Amino acid sequence: MNKDSIVEEVKCIIEEISDIPQEEMDNDSSMIDDLDLSSLEVMSIISDIERKYSIKIAESEMLSISTIEELVDIILNKLG
């Protein structure tokens, strides 16, 4: 699985949860500041990603995620 496909899937999950069109998202968009997501929405996104990719993102890692790209990098790291 390559980075571009994961970015696309993450944006799709964000769109499903937040109703923000993917066209309004950039890889460096801050999920809270730029996309105005609530912490509950971010937790739902991470939960969906954990289920989709069968990975576990630690709380300390969650706290370090601010952009879509940072989230994708953690997914790639977990998938090895």
pLDDT digits (tens, 9 = 90+) for 16-51: 999 999 999 999 999 999 999 999 999 999 999 999
* pTM attached to this predicted model: 0.93
* Position 8 pLDDT exceeds 90: yes
**Per-residue pLDDT for 2 more than 90?**
yes
Say if residues 53 and 79 touch (Cβ distance below 8 Å): yes
Q: How many CB atoms lie within 10 A of CB 19?
A: 7
Scan for tokens 């390559």, then name that residue: 2
Question: What domains does the chain contain, in order, with CATH numbers?
Answer: 3-79 (1.10.1200.10)
11 three-state secondary structure: helix
CA dist 79 and 39 (Å) reads 25
